[in-house]
Amino acid sequence: MHDFFEDVCQYDLALIFDYFIFKKLIALEVLNIKVRGFSFCYHDRQNKPPEISKDHIKNKRIILSAAKMQSLVRNLPIMIGNLIPKCSEHWQLVLKLADITDIITVNHYQPEYCDLLKCVVNEYLVTLLKLFPNSLKPKNHFLVHYTTVMKVSGALRNLSSMRGESKNKESKEFATVAINRINICYTITTKHQLKLNHYFHNFKTPDDFITGPIKNQTVVFEKFLTDNGLSKDMFEGSWLKFNDQYLTQNSIIMVPTKHGPVFYNVQTISIAKDNKALVFSQGIEAHLDEDVHAFIVINYSISYKIFFWNELKYCIVTHKIRAGNGNEYILKRWI
């Protein structure tokens, strides 16, 4: 998976951007403004991509770390989707890159993912070869084998070297700030052990909820709390973290159903003294816009839903953003 973000995306996106700039579909300055001003979600915000330089375009390679490239590819359709003609085959390449990213970064393996990945990769490589002859590299060929690896070993995310690279970066930072240089390897090892000890001391299971600062006491929905035998001594929380997902006011909760995803806009997060949480949310009507790889918000429902703490673990948290065309979109973070 590392060869996708640090090779395939770096070279292919540079070719696509060069074409967009040459055809005057978008200027490099406008592209960088879009990147700077984009509202990244919680996880992508930690790996916000930097600006694209002229040298990146000139050298036909956008040099970014794997994490920053992943963040760029996943959000690019929303960033510049209103500026590029939807009928453009070059734009379809961008959407295919986003599709591949979604598939190879899933946490759990499903057999149907293999057929989907095989189809998307085949379409991507055929279109790439058509638009940019002689641009294929060995790493592009590796994409063909991703399906086989997924069938044998499960979700590709679990085989990624990104976590190892992150650990290596952490060691470099320890070495940079270390004063004692007599035995630097021993110093780095000790710091890793201390950090691991701190983690074990504050260990949280996946079912635990980590809550943010309390804002004020919740007085709304008091009748609901009474009817359901819940304590009225609840407080409004600023944020909630569970299953490595970060939930705040105006976050979007996606509930998978057999008829497709159902969306809810978070209004209030209520937390009891025993850390049990209730999330009060408003329904959203949204439809998939394949041209930007996201769901466009049609309207907000007058109905509300309350999520109990044991229901949240089966939901996916994403967020919405207003694009340059004035429409609100819900970012797609699942297959």
Q: Are residues 114 and 174 in the same domain?
A: no
Give the pLDDT confidence score for residue 119 in this predicted structure.
96
Q: Are residues 289 and 302 in the same domain?
A: yes
Encoding tokens for residue 108?
A: 């759990």
Q: Are residues 229 and 323 in the same domain?
A: yes
Rounded Cα distance between 147 and 116, Å, is 9
| pLDDT band with cut points at 50, 70 and 90 for residue 59 | very high
CATH number (domain holding residue 314): 2.30.30
Number of domains in the chain: 3
Q: Are residues 6 and 151 in the same domain?
A: yes
Q: Are residues 185 and 269 in the same domain?
A: no
Q: Which domain holds residue 319?
A: 210-331
The pTM (predicted TM-score) of the whole model is 0.83
Q: What is the mean pLDDT of the chain?
A: 86
Q: Are residues 117 and 243 in the same domain?
A: no
Q: Are residues 95 and 232 in the same domain?
A: no
Phi, psi at 272, each rounded to 5°: -90, 175
Give per-residue pLDDT as tens, 239-282.
888 877 888 888 999 998 888 899 999 988 887 766 567 788 88
> 296 near 327, Cβ under 8 Å?
yes
Q: Are residues 72 and 216 in the same domain?
A: no
H or E element that contains 21: helix 9-22
